[in-house]
Structure 1
Amino acid sequence: MPSPALVFDLDGTLVDTRHDLAAAVNGVMREEGLGEVGLDTFGHLYGVGARPLLAKALLENGIADPDPIEIERLFLRFIALYRADIAGRSLPFPGILDLLVAFRAEGWRLAVCTNKSEPIARQLLDHLKMLDLFDALVGGDTFARSKPDAMPVLGAIERAGARLAGSVMIGDSRADIDAARAAGIPVVAVTFGYTAVPVRELSPDAVIDHFDELRSALDRLGLGLAVG
């Protein structure tokens, strides 16, 4: 029987990408002759995509209602700048690398399910030497729908060669929690990610403050290789 999967979100869950995302946004601002924006100004927007980050940076420069066509032009520049130095300062969150290696050795299947585009997510994980740790990677453009729809979560589990029973989502946002609920699997939320609402208020099945706590959280939920 196939093993269950641990399905991880990427930005704000596996990897802290804030510095490189902000650097790309500020690179666009400099090209436009506008002021740079501080790292902490973007808050939860790191988890919702480049266009909201760009809109926030423009707002900080006094441009409240940018033309959508202009946003798309800036978005293309953002992508070019981001991909040119995608992992300059991005780092895996503490404890995750050893944990992934240990779970793989035990027989778990591992997958990434992110709303980042699949090619960019693949490039990031490859630069961080994490790509080979995963059996599947699903991005926001892999399927017709992205999180919070169930489709990418279910697709990630299937592509990982895993079974649905006993699989679990690990993420940092409402989109992750809602996608797991839609897919019919439990969800563990991390507190160190990018969310507008504290994850404890979103009623995940478990909450962890550090990846050292993930194994015990799975045990409390009755999740493991013998489930199902």
Structure 2
Amino acid sequence: MMRAFIFDFDGTLANTLPICFYAFQNVFKEFDHKDLSSEDIKDMFGPSETGIIRNNLSNPNKEDAIEYYYEKYSEHHKSLVESNSEILELLKSLKEQSIKIGIFTGKAKRSLDISLKALKMDELFDVIITGDDVLNPKPNSEGLLKALSLLGVNNSDAIYIGDSDADVIAGVQANVYTIGVQWLPEYQTSTFSEQPNLIIKSVKEFKSSFKVGV
């Protein structure tokens, strides 16, 4: 058994893509008078939410737009993001087996904290690296290597799990066993440009593959 499992967040640990799309669509409609599709927004992914707004919004009132994003994200989180009992059970099972678990996400700390608290995941992780903690966002592996360093775990003893092409590239670049997951209703990538070590379609398959909870 590996010593550490590090997860992406949006589309991997929680089906938060709908709330991300909703909040961004509201920001760009309110400040730039633009109607953006989910695919338009997905194409901006990489930096944190604040980075996405600063890089892509034409309106100069970027700080107001960032506050508006968090307002919409928080306000509608409960109605747009459901808790997933299978994933929560998986995380708890890993901890029970004395495996370190972490998050490496492009998400900003502020929105991640909102989601972790709402989904009762806020006390589970040994390390959390957000988009605010790195100079180079995914697909750069900086954040993943930082997480491994803080955990005191070698890359050969860790697994990185994500749903996007950027996740897989970051994992492969870090020389970490990398899993592409497609186990939530909405995930970011159907086909990966860089091949992960494994593609998993369900939490049950994951638990069986790594003897979690056995």
* TM-score, structure 2 as length reference: 0.77
Q: Which has the larger radius of gyration?
A: 1
**CA 1:45/1:52 → structure 2, altered by over 3 Å: closer, same or farther?**
farther
Quote the Cα distance in structure 2 between the aligned partners of 1:141 and 1:212. Answer: 32
SS at match of 1:188: strand
Specify every segment of 5 or more residues in structure 2 that has no aligned partner in the other structure, as ranges.
Answer: none
Quote the Cα distance in structure 2 between the aligned partners of 1:185 and 1:33. Answer: 40
Q: CA deviation at 1:68?
A: 5.7
| Residue equivalent to 1:9 | 8
Match 2:207 to one of 215, 218, 222: 215
| Residue equivalent to 2:100 | 109
Q: CA deviation at 1:205?
A: 0.5
| Residue equivalent to 1:165 | 156
- Whether the 8 Å contact between 2:32 and 2:59 is mirrored in structure 1 is no
| Residue equivalent to 1:152 | 143
What letter corresponds to residue 131 of structure 1 in structure 2? D
Quote the Cα distance in structure 1 between the aligned partners of 2:33 and 2:117. Answer: 32
- Whether the 8 Å contact between 2:32 and 2:58 is mirrored in structure 1 is no
| Residue equivalent to 1:60 | none
| Residue equivalent to 2:133 | 142
Q: CA deviation at 1:79?
A: 2.8
Quote the Cα distance in structure 1 between the aligned partners of 2:63 and 2:171. Answer: 30
- Whether the 8 Å contact between 2:165 and 2:193 is mirrored in structure 1 is no
| Residue equivalent to 1:22 | 21
What letter corresponds to residue 113 of structure 1 in structure 2? F
User: Which deviates more from structure 2 when the two are superposed, residues 26-35 or residues 181-190?
Assistant: 26-35
SS at match of 1:132: coil
* TM-score, structure 1 as length reference: 0.73
Matching of residue 198 in structure 1 with residue 190 in structure 2: yes
- Whether the 8 Å contact between 1:169 and 1:186 is mirrored in structure 2 is yes
Please tell me the root mean square deviation across aligned C-alpha atoms, in Å: 3.3
- Whether the 8 Å contact between 2:103 and 2:127 is mirrored in structure 1 is yes
SS at match of 1:20: helix
User: Which deviates more from structure 2 when the two are superposed, residues 175-184 or residues 72-81?
Assistant: 72-81
Quote the Cα distance in structure 1 between the aligned partners of 2:29 and 2:40. Answer: 23
Quote the Cα distance in structure 1 between the aligned partners of 2:107 and 2:132. Answer: 8
Residue by residue, what CA displacement relative to the aligned partner does 1:20-45 show, whole Å, maximum 9, x if unpaired? 223324544675696977xxx40483
| Residue equivalent to 2:116 | 125
User: Which deviates more from structure 2 when the two are superposed, residues 103-112 or residues 76-85?
Assistant: 76-85
Residue by residue, what CA displacement relative to the aligned partner does 1:127-162 show, whole Å, maximum 9, x if unpaired? 211021111111011132222222210211233344
- Whether the 8 Å contact between 1:112 and 1:136 is mirrored in structure 2 is yes
What letter corresponds to residue 173 of structure 1 in structure 2? S
Percent identical among aligned pairs is: 23
| Residue equivalent to 1:189 | 180
How many residue pairs match? The answer is: 205
| Residue equivalent to 2:38 | 42
